[in-house]
Amino acid sequence: MPLHPQVRAMLDQIEASGLPQLNELSPVDARKQAKLMTELVGAGPEVARLDEFSIPTSAGKIAARRYVPVDPAAVILWIHGGGWVICDLDTHDAMCRLLATESGCQVVAVDYRLAPEHPFPAPLEDSWDALRWVAEQASGQPVIVAGDSAGGNLAAVCALRARDRGGPELALQVLVYPATSGDLTTSSCARYGSGRDTFMTLAEMEWFWAHYVGDVPDDSGLEFRPLRAQDHSGLPPTIIVTAEYDPLRDDGFAYAKALRNAGVPVTHHHYDDVVHAFFSLVNVLDRGNEAVAQVGA
């Protein structure tokens, strides 16, 4: 299926702007460029309550933002994407507002430390500490761990840790185009890693991974490549969202298959006319709003 007209228009606008690829920038400048998408997305819906606070971690404190709808039914920890290098609470604010509204759940978004200043395992440890804190504060409400792209990677690893370390108990994991394999030779990387139909390039993926894991030995990679876990059984029910025009498409499909083979209930929503990052581009792409609503249903 061809790209959705809104996606095509967005990609053409980006191309016409002459913005460099992220891998051509320093991490600091890449973060500034990512902020431009925040301006493009604009504001999300109002929620009943919005709290700015910090979560204690083993390394100090990280900033967090809580989106509270009326009578929340559960707590979602949202771990943002951005290749472990870019993005923050503001880049995903509109999406988190919409998710809280559509799901009727409290959403807690966390601003974990970023690579390369804080490479693996710092983003993971911050996410894990945040998950445990959220569970402790949940007052008996169901706890859901969720994230997009690199955040989906961190959410998946946190779910594996929760299983292996005796908790916290998770009601659900939501993985939006997650990076699960670290394999940059998949067919979707080859097909969608460059060209006019690409939002995130293969060169950018290589740049992200290099900043995150650097020279970490490959044999220690189970905690940044959840697809390689020896056992995927005992994980919570899972929602996986994938995009067709995305180098990470195959990672999402492979993880859905691995979980199903291990007996984990999986709901897989595949959008065949969109690119990577569409889920967070609410207000810009109708498919983003639709996907958030579908996850929240």
Q: Provide the annotated active-site residues.
A: 149, 246, 276
Q: Which pair of structure tokens corresponds to residue 77?
A: 């920890």
Q: Is 83 left (phi over 0), alpha (psi -120 to 50) or beta?
A: left
List CB contacts of 262: < 8 A, sequence separation 6 or more.
Answer: 231, 232, 233, 234, 235
